[in-house]
Structure 1
Amino acid sequence: MKNIRSKYLIIGCLLVLLGTSCKKDFLDTQMDTLPTPETIQTTRSSLTGFANAFYAPLNNFVGFNTLDGSFFEAATDDAQQTVTFAQGVIPFNQATLSEANPSTEVNKYYASYEGIRAANFFLDYSSNWRAMITKNRDTVTDVTNYNRDKLFIAAYRGEAHIARAFYYSELIKRYGGVPIVTKTLQQAGNDLTVARSSYDDVVNYIVSEIDRYKDSVVVNWKTNGFSDQDGRFSKGSALAIKARTLLYAASPLHNPSNDLSKWARAATAAREVMVTAGLGYALHTGGYGNYFQGNNALNSPETILAIRRLASNDLERANYPITTTGGASGVTPSHNLVAEYELKGAADPANIYANRDPRLAETVVLNGSTWNGRTIDQSPGAFDNVSKANTSRTGYYIKKFLAPNLDLVNNATAQHQWIAYRYAEVLLNYAEAMNEAYGPDALGPDVASVLSARQALNLVRARTGVAMPAVTAGGKDTFRMVVKHERRIELAFEDHRYWDLLRWNDAAAILNQPIQGVTVTKNANGSFNYAVSNVATRIFRSPAMYYLPFPRAEVVRSNGSIVQNPGY
């Protein structure tokens, strides 16, 4: 992936040259600017350049800077944005989403079609790739490089199909059915608009792309001798995209009749990630919080797909406490979330955070936490006193993903890799789908089933550094609530919560509740008291907000092929 990062500037120029900038109508399936594939110089290097182009839009899907330069969780019940001038979250929190005010999520709409267009163009452009890589080359004396190019370009063409599947999966979770565009060029005079497909049709298209091309991509770039290519779509990431897509399709929002065959199909897809030879995914053994630090995820068997980033301190500047020099407080976890972390041992009346699920201390900076070289004390008169301007309104700060003790005064930087898909999510996807299809303890009719729903979920709870007690009780309905809880805790701040609430049809009930925080006072003996209070109101407009509005400009440009989602 190093070579992909180094070519982003070149890719950007190529995309503009080819008319695929974000200002273009991405549903326009005719390339109406020059040069065309007939006039571009056909070289081996141009093949590689265009094979990298469909990766560039992935930068728009990095979840820790997706909304107001920080985490999307501020649009959920798990967090509150502290920065008063942050505008991107307001349409979600106050239900002002509209076709004229579609929020910054609209960037992902354009980025998705940019990626699809780049993938389509590469597939068209490279259709004669075998001749292109032999042109002006002695394939005998240059056999090593020639064989490498054959491997790379064949894999890249498969990756283009997987990229299309990824971008469509991101579109349908936001908008429902969308237009499916599979060609870059059409004959002059053809209709340039593409009709909107149904949600189920797009799901089937995603699955067909992955099933047809999953064996065309590399199983693992790390293990085949080309680790510099690691980070491209692989067989594992292709299967993970399919598994998540089918889980969403089986969920109540998209499966109102509760067709159990859809849940069974989702379970089978998740199981495929778990058992396919050569993938070898496993839970990280270095500790829960350690997994999200620096480059650790890149070398972990838990990672299925990571979107790689250059070193920076943007995440820390946005989310360090305001009382840490250079910090802005940013997105602060809610007490709604913190209260969900289970007790692992006996309750401590003197410390409400003691003996909790270890993932709490790895995810959230709590009052009394040691953070950035000091102990956080938010009581009146203390250094982190919440009466100071722009301190956390909830009494908490984000810890997960942030590098500790980063010297912002001297502009120190750290690595931050966004983990788009990881094995723990696959286990939880499998647990949810298996429970709905067969119950928490059955293996289902497929003898290849490797785990029950309960066994899969308990693997996540038993992971190194967490070791939470196994869940033993409960039938299907009770276990459903256990799965929802476990996803909230394990996947906190990984851009799952909002979309989970939507697909479960839980958003109207949950996102109309106030955000809670704690006010801290200190006793004479140095212990703390915590008073829970409401710190922000939320409004979720149902049923409209279960989907996002299409940008008004796209509705107008479509000449009727896109009908706006209801309620906007």
Structure 2
Amino acid sequence: MMMKRLLIILTLVLPFVFSGCKKALDNRIDTSLTPDQVFVNYDRIKSFGLGTYAYLPAGYNRVGGAFLAGATDDAEETNTSSAIQAFNFGSWTAFSNPEVTFGSFYNGIRNANLFLERTTNFKQIIARDTFTVEGRQKYIRNVDDLRWLRQEVRFIRSYIYFELIKRYGGVPLVTKSLQLDEGKDIPRSSYNDMVTFISNECDAVKDSVRDEWLGYSDTETGRITKGTVLALKSRLLLYAASPLNNPGNDAQKWQAAAKAAQDVIAMNKYSLFNNYQNLFLTPNSYRSTEVILSRRYSGSNGPERANFPIGTPGGQSGTTPSQNLVDSYEKLAGWDATNPYNLRDPRLNATVVVNNSNWNGRTIQTYIGGADGPGKERTSKTGYYLKKFLSNPLDLVNNQTTVKAWILFRYGEILLNYAEAMNEAYGPDDANGYGLTARQAINSLRARPGVNMPAVVAIGQGDLREKIKNERRVELAYEDHRFWDVKRWKIAESTLGAPLLGIEITKDANGVFSYVTKEVEKRVFQQKMYLYPIPQIEVNKSNGVIVQNPGW
């Protein structure tokens, strides 16, 4: 119901609201106010502007109570009734999509447009006591704050449009708040035109937002910075250069993507955190030098309760890693199949809870007959449980909680973006004057303290391409990238459509484990699924102005 939603004078349904977290970005808003009541003073204007942040999607169990990874070859959702299974079985349609985002994204765009329109004269609106020294100083500070916030909201609108086009392709471009008689005749802009719009918006605001909030005000950490703007442009242009959106393999698109990633690197502001597993736990997930933008939440134990092993008191299983993913972690010298999780890329044991490991104060038993093994309600079907993002130890029985933060952009991704684009544009070992080759970028990521994986040796472009794909898979596992990566690479038939695998583990009388790979689930992927369908109700309401995606 996009057009109906776009016509609402003020929509304030915020699906992911920050609340109750000291020293966190507070984007709560009073939903009982009309626009004429909101845009009257500094506090209400700021509250409304910060409210637009809530439309940026974060990944904790957000699709049918599951991580989006549950719709990829990286994971299986234990809850068989989760809506995310429609992706895996191919049972979703233009009338029923497990990820309902189209309308809420346009609500966010509507609110962003309204904010930008109603705050053009914000300096006059907030002018109050400017006769005292204290009043003048407060006014100057508030003017600066809202000046930055206007640019942040403009960026958020662009970020939402990126989230739309990676799902739907071209979409209607709306840059003003629509009145009751408007909106019905807005067709879909092309994907390339939308890329141009978003890229231009990033260029327009990058020098008008703060370089850093930490140090200026701890209560404002989590707001947009210049690094955030450049990071979105890097991701945007990488997607635009990829096979799904660049079927002619235009080299200039890869060159532009490489330059965009280089712009972030050249800031010399970000660096890799020295503990991969702890990067995703607070406070590192919002304060470390690797994090470019994250969304912080108040204390909770929802992700742990939904994903801890079933044998852990309070754990309900949930998004469980697949053998497909486990197989992608490289084996090191001396690896032995009888001890399959030893001598592997360290990111495996930082991401996945494996059999016979210690996690949350107990030994994990995913073997047949074990406390976490087959035969129990909601037990893992794959023989693995999720570790990444989850606090350890955490006492769920006594409802212990921890602060959460979902990372939206981080420097590790930028290095991967750079490596992929540089390899396609210039090959593995040509730095093009940037000071870092594609292969060097990958090796710098692999050399992170605590990971210390062997360097990738000199190889050809095609071989490095496959290395980079695998490196993205293991480095960014469960961070909402795999689902989109395999689509933009046009390999979804062989990944999202391949059988999902798990491990069957037995333990003999001597305590020796045996491991056999098994098929957990057959998956379905059809050509039309590279793009989401536009909700059919929107197509119908447009009287033919909005054209449905092919195959739907």
- The alignment's TM-score, normalised by the length of structure 1, stands at 0.90
How do residues 23-38 of structure 1 correspond to structure 2 at under 5 angstroms?
35-37=34-36
| Partner residue of 2:88 out of 93, 96, 101 | 93
Distance 1:78 1:328 in 2: 19
8 Å CA contact 2:373, 2:380 repeated in 1: no
8 Å CA contact 1:171, 1:178 repeated in 2: yes
Would you say 1:206 and 2:194 are equivalent positions?
Answer: no
Would you say 1:262 and 2:281 are equivalent positions?
Answer: no
Distance 2:504 2:281 in 1: 30
> What SS does the corresponding residue of 2:403 show, helix, strand or coil?
coil
Aligned position for 1:146: 139
8 Å CA contact 2:331, 2:343 repeated in 1: yes
Distance 2:429 2:263 in 1: 19
- Residues 434 and 350 of structure 1: CA distance in aligned 2, closer, same or farther (over 3 Å): same
Aligned position for 2:7: none
> What SS does the corresponding residue of 1:310 show, helix, strand or coil?
strand
Aligned position for 2:3: none
Shift of 1:190: 4.9
Distance 1:133 1:153 in 2: 10
Distance 1:3 1:233 in 2: 19
Would you say 1:64 and 2:49 are equivalent positions?
Answer: no
8 Å CA contact 1:70, 1:315 repeated in 2: no
Aligned position for 1:180: 173
Aligned position for 2:10: none
> What SS does the corresponding residue of 2:167 show, helix, strand or coil?
helix
> What SS does the corresponding residue of 2:336 show, helix, strand or coil?
coil
Would you say 1:196 and 2:188 are equivalent positions?
Answer: yes
RMSD: 1.8
Shift of 1:309: 1.1
Distance 1:492 1:349 in 2: 23
Aligned position for 1:158: 151
8 Å CA contact 1:294, 1:417 repeated in 2: yes
8 Å CA contact 2:39, 2:119 repeated in 1: no
8 Å CA contact 1:3, 1:229 repeated in 2: no
Distance 2:546 2:300 in 1: 39
The amino acid across from 1:172 in the alignment is: I
Aligned position for 2:228: 237
Aligned position for 1:31: none
Aligned position for 1:217: 209
Aligned position for 2:271: 282
Distance 2:107 2:50 in 1: 13
- Residues 291 and 3 of structure 1: CA distance in aligned 2, closer, same or farther (over 3 Å): closer
8 Å CA contact 1:139, 1:146 repeated in 2: no
Would you say 1:370 and 2:358 are equivalent positions?
Answer: yes
Aligned position for 2:29: 10
Would you say 1:557 and 2:541 are equivalent positions?
Answer: yes
How do residues 454-473 of structure 1 correspond to structure 2 at under 5 angstroms?
454-473=439-458
- Residues 141 and 314 of structure 1: CA distance in aligned 2, closer, same or farther (over 3 Å): closer
Aligned position for 2:344: 356
Distance 2:485 2:131 in 1: 54
The amino acid across from 2:512 in the alignment is: S
Deviations 1:492-530 (A, max 9, x none): 010100100000000012222111111111234322110
Shift of 1:239: 0.6
8 Å CA contact 2:233, 2:260 repeated in 1: yes
8 Å CA contact 2:309, 2:316 repeated in 1: yes
8 Å CA contact 1:65, 1:315 repeated in 2: yes
Would you say 1:327 and 2:315 are equivalent positions?
Answer: yes
Distance 2:510 2:452 in 1: 33
Deviations 1:221-271 (A, max 9, x none): 114x22221101111111101100000000000000000000000000000
> What SS does the corresponding residue of 2:517 show, helix, strand or coil?
strand
Deviations 1:306-345 (A, max 9, x none): 0111111111111111122221111110000001111123
Distance 2:250 2:129 in 1: 57
Aligned position for 2:47: 49
Distance 1:467 1:361 in 2: 14
How do residues 335-354 of structure 1 correspond to structure 2 at under 5 angstroms?
335-354=323-342
Aligned position for 1:426: 414
Shift of 1:6: 7.5
- Residues 243 and 96 of structure 1: CA distance in aligned 2, closer, same or farther (over 3 Å): same
8 Å CA contact 2:366, 2:384 repeated in 1: no
Aligned position for 1:309: 297
Distance 1:191 1:8 in 2: 28
> What SS does the corresponding residue of 2:299 show, helix, strand or coil?
coil
| Partner residue of 1:481 out of 427, 445, 466 | 466
How do residues 484-503 of structure 1 correspond to structure 2 at under 5 angstroms?
484-503=469-488
Aligned position for 2:4: none
Distance 2:365 2:92 in 1: 38
The amino acid across from 1:405 in the alignment is: P
What is the aligned-residue identity percentage? 47
- How many residues are paired up? 533
> What SS does the corresponding residue of 2:60 show, helix, strand or coil?
helix
Shift of 1:204: 0.4
Would you say 1:84 and 2:80 are equivalent positions?
Answer: yes
Shift of 1:485: 0.4
Distance 2:494 2:278 in 1: 34
The farther-off stretch of 160-169 and 347-356 is 347-356
The farther-off stretch of 470-479 and 433-442 is 470-479
The amino acid across from 1:556 in the alignment is: N
- Residues 53 and 559 of structure 1: CA distance in aligned 2, closer, same or farther (over 3 Å): farther
Deviations 1:144-164 (A, max 9, x none): 212211210110111011101
8 Å CA contact 1:83, 1:328 repeated in 2: no
The amino acid across from 1:215 in the alignment is: D
The farther-off stretch of 368-377 and 127-136 is 127-136
- Residues 512 and 7 of structure 1: CA distance in aligned 2, closer, same or farther (over 3 Å): closer
Q: Deviating runs (4+, > 4 A) in structure 1?
A: 1-9, 188-192
The amino acid across from 1:425 in the alignment is: E
Aligned position for 2:9: none
List runs of 5+ in structure 1 lacking aligned partners: 18-34
Distance 2:410 2:296 in 1: 14
Would you say 1:539 and 2:537 are equivalent positions?
Answer: no
- Residues 328 and 200 of structure 1: CA distance in aligned 2, closer, same or farther (over 3 Å): same
- Residues 257 and 142 of structure 1: CA distance in aligned 2, closer, same or farther (over 3 Å): same
Distance 1:66 1:54 in 2: 18
List runs of 5+ in structure 2 lacking aligned partners: 1-17
Distance 1:47 1:389 in 2: 49
